[in-house]
Amino acid sequence: MIKHLGTYVCSLLAGVWLIFPIAHLSQKTLETRFSYANHDLMQTAIQLNRSEPVPVLMYHSISFEKSPLCVSPKQFEIQLRNLLKHGFTPITARDLFRAWDTGMKLPSRPVVLTFDDGYQDNYTHAFPILKKYKAKATLFVITGSIGKPRYLNWGQLEIMERSGLVDVESHTVTHPDVRHLTRKQFYYELAESKRVLETRLHKKVCMFAYPYGKYTKKWFPVLSAMGYQAAFTTKNRLTEYAQGRYSLKRLRVFPHDTFSHFPFEDRVDF
Ligand SMILES: [Zn+2]
């Protein structure tokens, strides 16, 4: 958790910034940005418009620990239930890009649940809830931590992958701030994490999340050359195609979130 000191600071800042903008967003603005009106479309497959923002939610640990990065299992279930009640359908990050890149149809109100770092409670606490509601999710795991105390092991990753609900993707080998790596180091972090996940899980890895959300444009061509289709930061905003496939934003989920009413419109950049 020491590694995530920067993320803690960002969370505190986000908490402060979230209080003010909410008051300035009118109800009309909220409804215009993300209309919930047409319930007839809820179960209908749609061709996703590239200009339409999609909520990509960022979780870390699903546990009872008191931390801005931890959501309790009970609260996670409340959040998921409310998302489903609003007509959202959880898809994977891979699904989102398949829709944007190939025109594959999606449920009318897609949402992406992502979990960073690969904590063991993603299996013990989150996975049973995902299964209960048949909800898909994307895990960004630190491959060098797999099997270590508090982290997922290969057996758990295999079970989740086999369920068809969980897509395991890369979060590097050692969780470095990639801005400060040499080209050789960056290549190792991205290629080795991809290789080991592909070998053990018998799948293609094509999604990536930057540790601490830190990135630099100079790595975009390298990501592309290695076969990564998209990379996510921790910038707090709805995800849009126009953000660029290697600098995608996500919405941070806070322990107290319920998503009971207009889940995402009050989230802004910070
Ligand atoms: Zn991380």
Q: Alpha-carbon distance 150 to 146, whole Å?
A: 9
Kindly report the CA angle at 234 between 226 and 42, in degrees rounded to 5? 95
How much distance in Å is there from the Cα of 3 to the middle of ligand 1? Answer: 8
How much distance in Å is there from the Cα of 175 to the middle of ligand 1? Answer: 6
Total domain count for the chain? 2
Can you give the pLDDT at residue 265? 60
How much distance in Å is there from the Cα of 160 to the middle of ligand 1? Answer: 20
Mean pLDDT of 232-256: 94
- Residue by residue, DSSP assigns 41-75 as GTT-EEEPPTTS-B-EEEE-EESS--STTEE-HHH
Q: Alpha-carbon distance 132 to 96, whole Å?
A: 22
Q: Are residues 215 and 127 in the same domain?
A: yes
How much distance in Å is there from the Cα of 240 to the middle of ligand 1? Answer: 22
Please count the other Cβ atoms lying within 10 Å of the Cβ belonging to residue 20.
9
* Whether 144 contacts 171, CB under 8 Å: no
Q: Are residues 100 and 179 in the same domain?
A: yes
Can you give the pLDDT at residue 51? 82
For residue 215, the enclosing domain spans 54-267
Q: Are residues 58 and 174 in the same domain?
A: yes
pLDDT in tens, 35-83: 333 333 345 677 777 888 999 999 999 999 999 999 999 999 999 999 9
CATH of the domain at 194: 3.20.20.370
> Residue-wise over 161-170: b if at least 16 C-beta within 10 A, else e?
beeebbbbbb
Can you give the pLDDT at residue 24? 34
Q: Are residues 41 and 65 in the same domain?
A: no
Flag whether pLDDT at 264 surpasses 80: no
Flag whether pLDDT at 222 surpasses 90: yes
Mean pLDDT of 126-137: 98
- Torsions phi, psi for 226 (to 5 deg): -85, -5
How much distance in Å is there from the Cα of 117 to the middle of ligand 1? Answer: 5
How much distance in Å is there from the Cα of 88 to the middle of ligand 1? Answer: 26
Q: Are residues 74 and 176 in the same domain?
A: yes
Mean pLDDT of 225-254: 95
* Whether 120 contacts 165, CB under 8 Å: no
Q: Alpha-carbon distance 97 to 26, whole Å?
A: 31
Q: Which residues pair with 139 in a beta bridge?
A: 115, 168
Q: Are residues 21 and 106 in the same domain?
A: no
How much distance in Å is there from the Cα of 171 to the middle of ligand 1? Answer: 7
Flag whether pLDDT at 121 surpasses 90: yes
Flag whether pLDDT at 1 surpasses 90: no
How much distance in Å is there from the Cα of 116 to the middle of ligand 1? Answer: 5
Q: Are residues 24 and 62 in the same domain?
A: no
How much distance in Å is there from the Cα of 259 to the middle of ligand 1? Answer: 24
Can you give the pLDDT at residue 157? 98
pLDDT in tens, 160-201: 999 999 999 999 999 999 999 999 999 999 999 999 999 999
Q: Are residues 194 and 243 in the same domain?
A: yes
pLDDT in tens, 3-48: 454 444 444 444 433 333 333 333 333 333 333 333 333 456 777 7
Share of the chain above pLDDT 90, in %: 71
pLDDT tier for residue 266 given thresholds of 50, 70 and 90: low
Spell out the alpha helix ranges (H) of the chain.
5-24, 27-33, 73-85, 93-102, 121, 127-132, 154-162, 183-201, 220-225
How much distance in Å is there from the Cα of 211 to the middle of ligand 1? Answer: 4
Q: Are residues 22 and 124 in the same domain?
A: no
The one-letter code for the residue type at 270 is F
Q: Are residues 31 and 71 in the same domain?
A: no
Q: Are residues 137 and 262 in the same domain?
A: yes
Which of 45-54, 119-128, 193-202, 251-260 is predicted least confidently? 45-54
Flag whether pLDDT at 128 surpasses 60: yes
How much distance in Å is there from the Cα of 109 to the middle of ligand 1? Answer: 27
Q: Are residues 62 and 37 in the same domain?
A: no
Q: Alpha-carbon distance 69 to 204, whole Å?
A: 28
How much distance in Å is there from the Cα of 201 to the middle of ligand 1? Answer: 21
Flag whether pLDDT at 231 surpasses 50: yes
Q: Alpha-carbon distance 248 to 198, whole Å?
A: 23
Can you give the pLDDT at residue 44? 65
How much distance in Å is there from the Cα of 253 to the middle of ligand 1? Answer: 14
How much distance in Å is there from the Cα of 258 to the middle of ligand 1? Answer: 23
